[in-house]
Amino acid sequence: MSGAFDIITVPDFSGKQARAFEARALLFLASWIEHAGRAREFPLHIACIGEPPASVRRLADRCGALISVHEPVGDGLRGSANKLRGLEVEPETDRFLLLDTDTVFLSDPSELADFGRCVAAAPANVPRVPESYWRRIYPALGLELPSERIVCVAAEMACKPRLGIAYPEQSAEMRSMFPYFNGGVVFAPWDCGFRELWEEHMRSIRTFFTERDAVWKNIAASDQTGLATAIQYLRARGLPFRRLPAACNANWLHLYRRALTVEDMKIFHAMFIFGKTTNATRNLGLQLYRFRLHLMHRLANQWRRKESGKLGAVRHFLLPSLAETNRLGSRMQSLYRSHVRAALDA
């Protein structure tokens, strides 16, 4: 199809979170059926780490999705690094959209076809790597330090970091951070060498630090540091960069500030959905209801920490965002009833 791009997600069925990934993958596929619109004509790839359960195969078949099975990346890389396997599928177009499995389609994302040949990503919610670390990373990779600084999503939405301050300079860097992007939605051309470059940078950056460094976990267990340097490498060699529209990687922060409604969103990043649930497919409808409450709890906490006592903020932000979250939760429940439950029961 002219202008199409490959759409890829990588569920991990190889470890303790296999049931959580099954639930996420089923919700992802159900949302594709209901809401992907014209993009449903684009190639859809489910690059599985480990053998997928029958429920996922069943729903993927309904979507016409191409399933492949892969080993974990391993050799020191873990967790989110497995998404690199998604860039090993057989391309059917000239570009790809790589999505975390905890994303949900809410409307047609095919407008990204108009982006042309470029790499696109959205800023991270908050900076997780201090500027002092970046000043070590870039020279060690043989790259020039980027002159650009960007604003994180939390600062754009005038929100505080949900988990508190991760390192002393974090608050000051929120409005002026080294380019640092969310790895949950990434758009790029196949022929730019993205997969090899991303892994190479992830592996190299790990060797520059040790467990004694303050934010070691944000480097060792995350793909986003290597993503930032890989994007900078490609930009320096002439590949254009475009900021991904917020609607294509929307999250709870956008809900709180009413920057986007559910109707505006194309891809919602349901961060941490089923994250601590060992058997997420059991009573999945109930698990989705709990996730709705979890989002509402986040919104209420943001109000308490940022604007407690301001009645105007209750009227303008908190109450409307709670109502919008309820609408979002109802959509997810509808996906479960319409598609997911039957795939599990069969």
Query: Reduced to 3 states, what is the DSSP secondary structure of residue 274?
Result: coil
Full-model pTM: 0.95
pLDDT tens per residue across span 6-60: 999 999 999 889 999 999 999 999 999 999 999 999 999 999 999 999 999 999 9
Cα separation, 45 vs 10, whole angstroms:
8
Q: Are 317 and 256 in contact (CB under 8 A)?
A: yes
Q: Which residue stretches of the chain are H helix?
A: 18-35, 54-63, 131-140, 153-156, 170-173, 194-206, 216-220, 224-236, 252-256, 284-307, 311-313, 319-335, 341-345
| pLDDT of 1 over the 60 cut | no
Cα separation, 170 vs 152, whole angstroms:
11
pLDDT tens per residue across span 66-100: 999 999 998 777 678 899 999 999 999 999 999 99
Distances (CA, A) of 334 to 24, 66, 297: 15, 25, 22
Residue 201, classified by CB atoms within 10 Å of its CB into exposed (0-12), middle (13-18) or buried (19+), is buried
| pLDDT of 164 over the 80 cut | no
Q: For 316, which DSSP code? A: I
Dmax over CA atoms of the chain, in Å, equals 55
Sheet containing 95-99, strands listed edge to edge, beginning at the edge strand earlier in sequence: 66-70, 44-49, 6-9, 95-99, 185-189, 119-121, 241-243
In the chain, where the domains are located: 6-128+131-246, 252-345
Query: Reduced to 3 states, what is the DSSP secondary structure of residue 242?
Result: strand
Model confidence at 2, pLDDT cuts 50, 70, 90, reads: low
* Nearest CA among 106, 128, 121 for reference residue 33: 106
Q: For 145, which DSSP code? A: P
CB 240: neighbour CB atoms within 10 A? 12
Instruction: Tell me the mean pLDDT in the region 106-111.
Output: 97
Phi, psi values for residue 177, rounded to 5°: -105, 155
Distances (CA, A) of 152 to 122, 173, 253, 276: 9, 9, 11, 26
Distances (CA, A) of 58 to 53, 55, 64, 70, 285: 9, 5, 10, 19, 19
CATH of 6-128+131-246, one of 3.10.20, 3.90.550, 1.10.3470, 3.30.70: 3.90.550
Angle of CA points 47, 50, 56, to nearest 5°: 65
| In the chain, % of residues over pLDDT 90 | 82
Residues, the chain: 346
Model confidence at 306, pLDDT cuts 50, 70, 90, reads: confident
Write down the pLDDT at residue 222.
85
